[in-house]
Structure 1
Amino acid sequence: MDMIVQPTSRLQGEIQALSSKNYTTRYLLVAALAEGTSTIYYPAHSEDSDAMRRCIRDLGAVITEDDEKIVITGFGKHPASVEQLDVGNAGAVLRFLMAIAALCPEVTFINTYPDSLGKRPHDDLIDALKQMGIEVEHQSGRLPITLKGGSPKGGRIRVSGSVSSQYLSALLFLTPLLPEDSEIEVLHDLKSKVVVGQTLEVLAQAGIRIDASDDLMFYKVPGRQSYQAKEYSVQGDYPGSAAILAAAAVVDSDVTVLRLEENSRQGERAVVDVLKAMGVDLTHEGSVVRVQGGKPMKAGEFDGDEFTDGVLAMVAASVFAEGTSRFYNVENLRYKECDRITDYLNELRKAGAQVEERQSEIIVHGRPEGIEGGVEINAHYDHRVIMSLTVVGLRAKQPIRIKDAHHVAKSYPHYFDHLKSLGANVQWVE
């Protein structure tokens, strides 16, 4: 379905931030890897987290759920033998489970999104798994991918972090279960270090011991460890809330978002600081963020690697700032559900934004007077692109139509419901 986004004069009200997708998928996985029963309170409901639920159930986890919590009895070190796994369009779920599936005799990850996840390469993780004695059949690094393993070996493992930190996280989930101790060396560069910090935080909560170097480029992982069954509580999600906060910044507003912890380790917490730097009237006390928007904003320069999943929303806000904004160190955006630099900027230009791209930069020449709109936009099946284009549409002079906007459900199924509750003029159309 498509979404018509009409110019909106004011947003006002209070919403609860959705639960964190990143933490939910990690808690689901460590609960499945535990021998015993774990409870996860306030889990996220999205296509990504649903994909993890579905796959760990296929691998032998027993799951029950109600409105507040999900209870999981794990399979520990012994996942069930399955022929196929379907991760949908969830890249992180695919990569984490490629490592865990190495414990199975033979598993094929099928390709159900050939125009999105099916285009994304996974060579760096494949290379690492081969070092561990796993045979991998693939299509130039892409889905479908078949792993023939059952007995991965620890030891010295090298993995590139220059495309995605998810390859490293996948190895960190697997290696504690192996008979051998492991040393993991990250080659080249490591993108999204803050997200690796989230992985290490969850592993520690699950009772796993890992010795990480200060720069997160080298790890000593004792083998023969066991995940402990625990209780977890999922915090509010900054990546999804980034677009809500950006929308409140660019139009006249008084919007409060609850459950966004000040001391969160989510890198996207930085979007609060980015908006403040742009001159947005914003307060953050405890877990409450309040934005009183619609005032003049100023451009700035920001290291996007610190808040990868919030960059597009901040770019959308900067479209209406005075001056030229620069988001640098963002090349890894090219390897997401779509090329979030080229594809996203092409759609922004259609709507009237003045933007430029470099290999690892996004340049925005702000237009405080607003943009024209009045166009149909292709969101490239990407939930972050959909949310961020909506922000731009709220300040456009004419409506924009976002194609296939239902793909927002990948991370934030209630995004448009939340915007409507705040007064946004948005409407689903066939």
Structure 2
Amino acid sequence: MDVIVRPTAALSGSIGALSSKNYTTRYLLVAALAEGTSTIYYPARSEDSDAMRRCIQDLGAVLEEDEEKAVITGFGKHPKNVKELNVGNAGAVLRFLMGIAALTEEVHFVNTYPDSLGKRPHDDLIDALGQLGVEVEHHGGRLPMTIRGGKPQGGSITVSGEVSSQYLSSLLFLTPLLEGDSEITVTGDLKSKVVIGQTLEVLEQAGIVIQASEDYSKFRVPGGQAYQAKTYTVQGDYPGSAAVLAAAAVTQSDVTIRNLSPDSKQGERAIIDVLKAMQVPLTHENNDVRVQGNGRLQGLEFDGDTATDAVLAMVAAAVFAEGTSRFYNVENLRYKECDRITDYLAELTKAGARVEERQSEIIVHGRPEGVEGGVEINAHYDHRVIMALTVVGLRASQPLRIKDAHHVAKSYPQYFDHLKALGANVEWVE
């Protein structure tokens, strides 16, 4: 389905932040890898987290869920042999489970999104698993693929961090379960280091011991460990909230988002500091973020590697800022559900924004007067692109029609419901 976004002068009201997708998928996985029963309070419900739910159950976990919590009895280090797994369009879920699949005899990962996840590369993780004696049959580093494992041994592993930190996370979930100790060396410039911090945080909560160098270039993982069954509480999600906060920043607004911890290790928490630097009236007290927007923003420069999943929302806000904004160190945006530099900027240009593309930079020449709109937008099946383009549509002179906007459900199924509750003029159309 498509969404039509019409110009909206003002937003007001209060919503609760979505539960974190990144933490939910990690907690679901460590609960499945534990022997015993774990409880996860306030897990996210989205296509990505549901993909993890589905796959861990296929691998032998037992999951019972109500509105407040998920209760999971894990399979430990002995996942069930299954013929195939379908991760949908969830790249992180695929990569995490490529590691866990090494504990089974053979798993075939199907390719149900050939125009999105099916285009994304996984070569660096395939190479690393090969160093553990795991055979991977693949198509140029992409789906579909078959993993033949069984009894991988620990040892010395080298993995590139140049494209994605998810390859390293996959190894960090797997190697504690192997018989021997492992040493992981990361080559190149590791992307999204802050997300590795989240992985290590969850592993520690699950009772796993890992020794990491300060720069995350080397890891020593004792083998023969066991995940412990625990109780977890999922925190509020900054990546999804970033788009709502950006929407409040570019309009006349009085919007509060609840349950966003100022102490969170989510890198996308930087949206708070970025909006403040753009001179948006904003307070963050008692887990509540309140934006009293006046539609006036100042341009800035920002290192986007620390907050990958909030960059598109930041760029959307910068479209309406005074002066020029520069978001640098963002090349890994090219390896997401779509090329979030080339594809996103093409659609922004179509809407009337003035933007420039570099290999690892996005440059925005602000238009405080707003953009023309009045066009149909291709969001490239990408939830982050859909959310960010919606922000732009609120300040366009003419409506924007965003194609296939239902793919927002990958991470934030309630996104348009929340915006409408705040007063946004958005409408679903066939």
TM-score (norm 1): 1.00
C-alpha RMSD of the superposition? 0.4
> After the TM superposition, which residues 146-157 of structure 1 pair with which residues of structure 2 at under 5 Å, given as runs?
146-157=146-157
Distance 1:88 1:295 in 2: 38
> After the TM superposition, which residues 115-154 of structure 1 pair with which residues of structure 2 at under 5 Å, given as runs?
115-154=115-154
Name the residue aligned to 1:89: 89
Asked if residue 19 in structure 1 is aligned to residue 13 in structure 2, the reply is no
Q: Deviations over 1:398-423 (max 9, x none)?
A: 00000000000000000000000000
What secondary structure sits across from 1:189 in the alignment? Answer: coil
- Match of 2:85, as an amino acid? L
Distance 2:21 2:404 in 1: 21
What secondary structure sits across from 2:407 in the alignment? Answer: helix
Q: Deviations over 1:251-301 (max 9, x none)?
A: 000000000000000000001000000010000113100000124211000
How far the C-alpha of 1:74 sits from its partner, in A, is 0.1
Distance 1:125 1:90 in 2: 16
Q: Deviations over 1:117-157 (max 9, x none)?
A: 00000000000000000011000000001011111121100
Asked if residue 343 in structure 1 is aligned to residue 354 in structure 2, the reply is no
How far the C-alpha of 1:347 sits from its partner, in A, is 0.1
- Match of 2:125, as an amino acid? L
Q: 4+ residue runs of structure 1 moved beyond 6 angstroms?
A: none
- Match of 1:396, as an amino acid? A
Asked if residue 76 in structure 1 is aligned to residue 76 in structure 2, the reply is yes
- Match of 1:282, as an amino acid? L
Asked if residue 416 in structure 1 is aligned to residue 407 in structure 2, the reply is no
Distance 2:295 2:67 in 1: 39
> After the TM superposition, which residues 33-182 of structure 1 pair with which residues of structure 2 at under 5 Å, given as runs?
33-182=33-182
Name the residue aligned to 2:191: 191
How far the C-alpha of 1:20 sits from its partner, in A, is 0.0
Name the residue aligned to 1:393: 393
- Match of 2:84, as an amino acid? Q
Distance 1:239 1:331 in 2: 18
Distance 2:126 2:183 in 1: 17
Q: Which runs of 5+ in 1 are unaligned?
A: none
Name the residue aligned to 1:278: 278
Distance 1:388 1:326 in 2: 17
Name the residue aligned to 2:262: 262
Name the residue aligned to 2:370: 370
How far the C-alpha of 1:189 sits from its partner, in A, is 1.1
Distance 2:154 2:347 in 1: 45
What secondary structure sits across from 1:255 in the alignment? Answer: strand
Distance 1:7 1:113 in 2: 33
Q: Which runs of 5+ in 2 are unaligned?
A: none
Name the residue aligned to 2:219: 219
- Match of 2:150, as an amino acid? G
Distance 1:18 1:418 in 2: 10
- Match of 1:383, as an amino acid? H
Asked if residue 9 in structure 1 is aligned to residue 9 in structure 2, the reply is yes
- Match of 2:221, as an amino acid? V
Distance 2:294 2:98 in 1: 46
- Match of 2:326, as an amino acid? R
Distance 2:68 2:231 in 1: 13
What secondary structure sits across from 1:224 in the alignment? Answer: coil
Name the residue aligned to 1:210: 210
What secondary structure sits across from 2:150 in the alignment? Answer: coil
- Match of 2:210, as an amino acid? I
Distance 1:197 1:188 in 2: 18
Name the residue aligned to 1:229: 229
- Match of 1:307, as an amino acid? A
Distance 1:236 1:310 in 2: 14
How far the C-alpha of 1:340 sits from its partner, in A, is 0.1
Distance 1:70 1:151 in 2: 30
- Match of 1:75, as an amino acid? F
% of aligned pairs identical? 78
State the number of aligned residues.
430
